[in-house]
Chain A
Amino acid sequence: MALLKLQINNRSYETDVEEDTPLLWVLRDNLGLVGTKFGCGIAQCGACTVHLDGEAVRSCTLPVSAVGKGKVTTIEGLSEKGDHPVQKAWDEIDVAQCGYCQAGQIMTAAAFLKKNPKPTDAQIVETMSGNLCRCGTYHRIREAVKSAASKTK
């Protein structure tokens, strides 16, 4: 066990965990940030996607010790009022069915659009194909990313 300091959503957290614990489980079990979801545990589905220094990463395979001083953003911290352009697009286009994968989808999309604010359709599909949606809301995810892109500057 080790006492670790983490920077998450512009707040400092301190937690006593084993160093190999994936960030996902620290967020969920230790810090009560359950918006980040467990889907596969092997970085295949993307439900656990968070930002580490702005990059979309799979928190289910990222040992917490590797986070270091990196700044973590989870779905809870993407925006203060839930009004990030991607979140707004997700609501407006009514993307979610069960909703379980959507935090990961939103985090993937938000990091992608920050780097590439004017993506082509093919780039959207390429990036978002990394995230599984078992309900099959892919058409609306694609539409929401496009919509968010058009509204980001």
Chain B
Amino acid sequence: MQNLEQTSRRNFLKIASAAGGGLFLGFNWANAAAVPVIVNPESLAAGAVNFNSFLTIGTDNIITIFSPNPEIGQGIKTAFPMIVAEELDADWTLVKTVQANLDSSKYERQVTGGSGAVPHSWERLRKAGATARYLLVEAASKRWNVPVSEITTEKGKIFHKSSGKSLAYGALAEEASKLTVPKEVKLKDEKSFTLIGQSVRNVDNKNIITGKPLFGLDFYREGMLFALIQRPKAFGLKLKSVDAEAAKKMPGIVNVVTFENSVAVVGKSTWQVKKARELLKIEYEKEFDLESSTDHNRIFKQLLDGGEATVRRKNGDVDAAFKNAAKVITAEYQCPFLPHSPLEPMNFFAHVREDGVELVGPTQTPDRARGEAAKITGFPPEKITVEITRQGGGFGRRLAADFAIEATHVSKLMKAPVKVIWTREDDMTGGTYRPAVRYRFEAALDKSGQMIGYKLRGVGMNAGNPTREDNFPSGAVDNLLIDSVDHKSPITTGPWRAPITNFLAYAEQSFLDEVAEAAGKDPVQFRLELLEKAKKAPVGEIKYDIDRMIAVIKLAAEKSNWGKKKGVHQGFSVYFSHRSYVAQVGEVIVEKGKPVLKNMIAAVDCGIVINKSGSLQQVRGGVVDGIGHAMYGNLTFKDGVPDQSNFNGFRLIRMNEIPEVDVHFVDNGISPTGLGEPALPPAGAAAANAFYRATKKRLRNQPFIEEEAFKNIS
């Protein structure tokens, strides 16, 4: 067994000491003022100071920046250091990024979720870089005996132009570290950014393309055991008895241990425990109803018609509006359960020792993993370390802590370092899905085609509130009622990239397309009229920025040459989620009688774009994700058991099925508002509305591929 070290603090210390004992300009990411703390390299190298949050400048001019948030493919490990380096005027080619471990005393929000990392850290990171630069300039001013105002910085160097003097940052790091840290520091004018807004390649590219151990599944430790867990095969079952005799006799098996409803087969290799697991004889008993998709469809209908609903938003008099309506449009939309399917299946390493716990692995919420391990072991959080690995996708699945809980249990029971691995089947059938939801929309139009009433009821399977009641068109309709009903299902659900909005946006924006048609209006014009109305005469509170929404609508219309292309069927959609605004146009062409989604045009307002390359791909990837799942994604159930368990039954979009995705960013200088999720929600509706133009059939259920419009089309 090889001991493959991850990029860890230990590795970092090696890098740091290799840098030749330069000075460490630490800063506290958690502090809004981001006042750097000067760290003595000797004490750091000796391990006496446990700083995870700092930038260091080595005497060899290498600047090392810790990135605290988990990297799951959203590009944070590249974007964060770019922001620091911008204000520091660092030479990007000399910047090294290191993934920080969990340290809540240093970091405020070590979470990947809600598209929130850059919006949250923007000011903090800029101040951190700017403060380090300030100290370097001060140090140069003292050494050269020239005023600070005559000193300039560029690409890791400090210049005094009139005397022709210059020094690299590394040469001044030690002096700079002895100076008093300023309380306030001036940030750059955003127009003078030289790095932010450029295309910067993923900092891990070299490691990725050469197959270096980066991911949780790549983590190995001397003496580590492997565990596969048998969980109840149906949602609603609980463990009754286990016969593990045959499994235990298999080669390489160390033991079989049971906790809660889980049976863990522990052994010396993944394959051995996988084979042994198949020999477990387990009896289960029913704890809850074993639900099938047919049950869900029946429950949806019951709750839409007669469920006790929670009112989410109410404006005006809806009953009167519908009574007086010249026309009423009603439609129902439904979306199935979905697994997250990150390509790296769930896995986690735990070593419960006598003096504490070591956790290593892919998690979007390391703090949650630690909290759960604390509960299981009784150790206080300070005795539990969490090392965050690079993660092969997340999509919200790794916001759960089940894998960390399992690893902790098994390690505790085995008194050994253990890695729990999930197979794809475990992953797909193991729950915390995107919830299934059905919506009923009703719109009332007056004689002139104005929308005078709007009703939405959402019914979800463990979806909580499946509406976003303050989103558009709320605020633009005089009489409005949005309510919801939740069915408590034994099938577990959780956040899935752009929670709720990943299906709500599709349903709502498709329905608005129906309403526009009934009103005899162009879909773009219809939305703009509603937004103008909301601006002039807002109904109740408005929690989205009308102007930003209008701007992306107009940009998408312009870039797609909306309504003017011959032989191209266009569909429109716009959505506000996670603080950002995205409008999309889908373009369908009919080829040999078959409607094909050829292009997607996206207009995006996420504020200032940090990394052009990463952001462009983030939008393309979000659109592909949205289209792929709307088109093909379906997880159905029979007696509590998922019908699909791997990629042969559950269809993910492939290269031959993607549209071209043309991306345009709004340049408005607004501080970043998030990009990990916002491109996904509008995709489904832009496609559905375009397919409708081509086929005259509405796509009111996901996956589209099973809808009437695609029947009898090879």
Measuring CB to CB, which residues of chain A are less than 8 angstroms from any residue of chain B?
1, 17-18, 20-22, 25, 28-42, 44-45, 47, 74-76, 78, 82, 87, 90-92, 94, 96-103, 106, 125-126, 128-142
Contacts and interface: CB of A to CB of B under 8 A. Distances in A.
Interface string B68-93: 00011111000000000000000000
Contacts of A101: 343, 392
A87 to B, nearest CB: 4
Given A37-B343, A39-B343, A138-B658, A21 B391 contact: no
Contacts of B655: 125, 128-129, 131, 133, 138, 141-142
Interface of B: 1-2, 4, 71-75, 199, 201-202, 204-206, 208-215, 217-218, 220, 226, 251, 269-272, 341-345, 390-395, 423-425, 613-614, 617-618, 620-625, 628, 646-648, 652-658, 660-661
B392 A103 contact: no
Contacts of A74: 211
A87 B205 CA distance: 9
Contacts of A142: 655
A33 B218 CA distance: 9
B209 A100 contact: no
B526 to A, nearest CB: 30
B660 A139 contact: yes
B600 to A, nearest CB: 11
Contacts of B217: 28, 34, 37-38
A-B CB proximity, top 6 nearest: A35-B211, A100-B392, A98-B73, A136-B624, A32-B2, A75-B211
Contacts of B617: 94, 97, 137, 140
A6 B268 CA distance: 21
Most chain B CB within a 10 A radius of its CB, from A17, A78, A98, A137: A98
B210 A136 contact: no
A73 B648 CA distance: 27
Contacts of A45: 343, 647
A99 B211 contact: no
Contacts of A44: 646-648
Given A35-B210, A99-B208, A40 B73 contact: no
B396 to A, nearest CB: 13
A102 B390 CA distance: 14
Contact of A132 (B71, B74, B621, B652): B652
Contacts of B648: 42, 44
> Do most interface residues of chain A lie in helix, strand or loop, or is the interface mixed?
loop
Given A29-B226, A94-B617, A136-B623, A37 B213 contact: no
B620 A136 contact: yes
Contact of B205 (A29, A91, A136, A139): A91
A22 B343 contact: no
A91 B201 contact: yes
Contact of B343 (A128, A132, A139): A132
B211 A126 contact: no
Contacts of B342: 98, 100, 134
A76 B213 CA distance: 10
Contacts of B269: 17, 21, 25, 29-30
B209 A82 contact: yes
Given A22-B271, A97-B75, A134-B341, A102 B208 contact: yes
Contacts of B344: 37, 39, 98, 100
Given A28-B270, A36-B211, A74-B211, A126 B656 contact: yes
A102 B202 CA distance: 13
Given A94-B201, A132-B654, A40 B424 contact: yes
Contacts of B72: 98
B613 A98 contact: no
B97 to A, nearest CB: 14
Given A74-B211, A132-B652, A136-B620, A96 B205 contact: yes
Given A129-B656, A134-B341, A34 B393 contact: no
B161 to A, nearest CB: 36
A34 B343 contact: no
Most chain A CB within a 10 A radius of its CB, from B213, B214, B344: B344
A37 B216 CA distance: 11
Contact of B653 (A96, A98, A136): A136
B210 A76 contact: yes
Contacts of B653: 136
Contacts of A20: 271
A98 B216 CA distance: 12
B167 to A, nearest CB: 32
Contacts of B394: 98
A94 B211 contact: no
22 contacts: A29-B226, A29-B270, A29-B271, A32-B2, A34-B217, A37-B344, A41-B424, A42-B424, A45-B647, A94-B199, A94-B201, A97-B75, A97-B617, A97-B618, A97-B621, A98-B392, A99-B392, A102-B209, A129-B657, A134-B625, A136-B625, A137-B620
A38 B214 CA distance: 14
Contact of A90 (B74, B205, B271): B205
Nearest to A77: B211
A45 to B, nearest CB: 6
A45 B251 CA distance: 29
B209 A87 contact: yes
A148 B622 CA distance: 26
A147 to B, nearest CB: 14
A45 B617 CA distance: 21
A137 B75 CA distance: 13
A100 B214 CA distance: 9
Contacts of B620: 136-137, 139
A47 B206 contact: no
Contacts of A125: 655-656
Given A97-B617, A101-B343, A106-B209, A37 B652 contact: no
Nearest to B618: A97
A84 to B, nearest CB: 9
Contacts of A34: 4, 211, 213, 217-218, 220
A87 B620 CA distance: 22
A25 B206 contact: no
B420 to A, nearest CB: 14
Nearest to B342: A134
A132 B213 CA distance: 20
Contacts of A35: 210-213
A140 B205 CA distance: 14
Nearest to A88: B209
B423 to A, nearest CB: 6
A99 B656 contact: no
A32 B342 CA distance: 23
Contacts of B210: 35, 75-76, 78, 82, 87
A103 B210 CA distance: 7
Nearest to A21: B271
Contacts of A25: 269-271
